[in-house]
Structure 1
């Protein structure tokens, strides 16, 4: 009773005046006759994409603190392999492995696998939380104990930054309250000093080199339709099948500057590279509205997909978004994922597993997205069925025998495989 149609009014956010309790449709700035608004200088005379100044506006009110590490040391004898065109933004929030920084350190260490990535400016955004009696990780709702662990995690991040264990010049943004991925990205973009940005999550590793400099060249080439380059996971490696089977849209690989790209009809929050201008004018454009806790892919991404499903790929519909996946091939000619998922809501350090009474750290086979490029490699059920058929096992007992064999196979993997944490990237010193 008393709640207005459209959900909780207090959860609404306005990207124009940074106010809560209303969105762009009810913004007094817009209703007063100002039809244009710049996110960079707050001018109402032009959009952020046309801003003549590269000057940041003051941080939005949900930003509690911005910490900047010491600037990078000059290297006169050797220039960085990656031009200062790209910054990396890592969004983080409470997970079970906190207060440990092991997972995010492993993620940052994996930058070494991509030539030039480790030299890019780094921004880490720590979202806030809501204290509740039962934890729901994705919603940012945690118990008092988990909240205390997360606060300690943020302190540990600051210690890493002060000790030079994070890249020189890195920025740490602390948000107050639970804001969600969309607002975390919006806050980070105001601290980005490069034209291009890589949005990355705290539990995703880079797996192999993918010619980063060439990808940036393609993004900056206005002759190509590519405005967003996503890095595929194992689950969306063959996106053309997903687009056709689930959404009835046909897409095929396109070639630009010697690289292969797959058009996609969805704005994934998973690792992607695009321009700050594209983000601010499109994702955070005047017609886009968000509420506290929103993810970009669950709001803007859904709107994009619905737009393309209703109007098709042509007539400039997909070109407005310019979303593509970067296709990379392994030596055997098969596509390979460029990032892998550590699964933050399940990741625990060996010490945490031992303290909870869990078995030793599970082997890499329990994290198939880290080690395999073909999902069929993970499935042993059909193999066991064939074995039982050749053994002429009665159908009545087949399932029971298969379960026994599967359990034995699992125990064998536990005994003979390397632990997951031992396969994480080695730490890299940024001093």
Structure 2
């Protein structure tokens, strides 16, 4: 899992989180961080930006994907934000260190206001965001004044990201197998000089993506099948020739955990304020469009890949179902029939 690469200069983790039934508990985020510790420790030493998206309306029944939260969830959200901040600072900043202001390491010292704009130019099509950051830029928190949705949340983080690559992480996907992040970044960086085989985005197989290269979503389309046959291979990172990084072309842009070029992300997914409306998900909006372009021979514009160790027979990602998960205690209530009124 280790690689010796300089995470602070190469990679930023973008973690998006929002209201769930389990808040104010941080169990979801804690599960993600534990999976980092077990399967890719570099993700705990890289810079991290946490975007706290919020809810749109308080309703009798939660529809969290649409920004609708119950009164209980809404009431618990501020406490949840505070709990996650404490958790992230404890995991991403060295204990006992002091910064130039003699404050504990990780203390947010810098704060500023920004805005997330969308749609046609109009003051109503803007959301103000508050950004706080540690002195060493190791930890950054973004808090919008209104709901952004996953797409605009990612864009808000990309805009202040100071590294060439990002790891985009939703709060309810955990790693379930070891990810060789250093060699993978090395291969991506090396591909910058080879326009014939660009590597701009790499996702990882989940349960439904086993044997992706020979699945119907590839084999049923001659252009995708031929492209897979010509490009699928083991790449060799220049800094470690003994390691192989197996990749196969991916014909979609997924929201699930992925590593990507920051510049490519902004240029391809967010070329203008019209690209994404408030509340939208990238895979719903851009993923479908990208797949159609790829079927028409434009895969190279997107340069999406799937990490393909052992022909993707083993899932690398596990979905935690954040919108329905009640937390450990809540799940026990549901399992044994005890539901609080």
Interval of TM-score (by shorter of Structure 1 and Structure 2): 0.7 to 0.9
Counterparts of 2:143 and 2:220, CA distance in 1 = 38
Alignment of 1:132-151 (within 5 A): 132-133=58-59, 134-151=61-78
Q: Report how far residue 288 of structure 1 moved.
A: 5.5
Q: How many residues align?
A: 272
The structural deviation recorded for 1:181 is: 0.6
Alignment partners' CA distance in 1, 2:18 and 2:41 = 28
How far apart, in 1, do the equivalents of 2:23 and 2:289 lie?
34
Aligned partner of 2:309 among 301, 305, 328: 328
- Give unmatched runs, 5+ long, in structure 1: 1-78, 362-431
1:82, 1:115 within 8 Å by CA — same for their partners in 2?
A: no
Q: 1:334 to 1:270 in 2, by over 3 A?
A: closer
| C-alpha contact 2:3 2:182 (8 A) present in aligned 1 | no
For residues 297 and 198 of structure 1, what CA distance do their matches in structure 2 show?
A: 16
Matched, 1:359 2:328: no
1:150 CA drift (Å)? 2.1
Q: Work out whether residues 265 and 323 of structure 1, in 8 Å CA contact, stay in contact via their aligned partners in 2.
A: yes
RMSD of aligned Cα (Å)? 2.4
Distance 1:99 1:276 in 2: 31
1:401-425 alpha-carbon deviations (Å, 9 max, x no partner): xxxxxxxxxxxxxxxxxxxxxxxxx
Match of 1:167 in 2: 92
Q: Which has the higher strand share?
A: 2
Q: What SS does structure 2 have at the residue aligned with 1:217?
A: helix
Contact 1:81 1:119 in 2 (8 A): no
Whether the 8 Å CA contact 1:236–1:242 is kept in 2: the answer is no
| Structure showing greater Rg | 1
Instruction: Report what 1:243 is aligned to.
Output: 217
| 1:108 partnered with 2:33 | yes
Distance 1:109 1:121, change over 3 A: same
> Which residue of the partner structure matches residue 122 of structure 2?
none
1: CA distance between counterparts of 2:40 and 2:275?
35
Matched, 1:255 2:225: no
Superposition deviation, residue 306 in structure 1: 1.4
For the residues of structure 1 that align with 2:41 and 2:86, how far apart are their CA atoms? Answer: 27
Aligned-partner Cα distance in 1 for 2:3–2:305: 27
Q: Which of 47, 56, 62 is residue 121 of structure 1 equivalent to? A: 47
CA positional deviation for 1:191: 2.6
Structure 2: give runs of 5+ residues left out of the alignment.
94-137, 237-243
Q: Relative contact order: is structure 1 or structure 2 higher (C-alpha 8 Å, sep ≥ 6)?
A: 2
- Counterpart Cα distance in 1 of 2:62 and 2:153: 20
* Cα distance in 2 between the residues matched to 1:87 and 1:338: 20
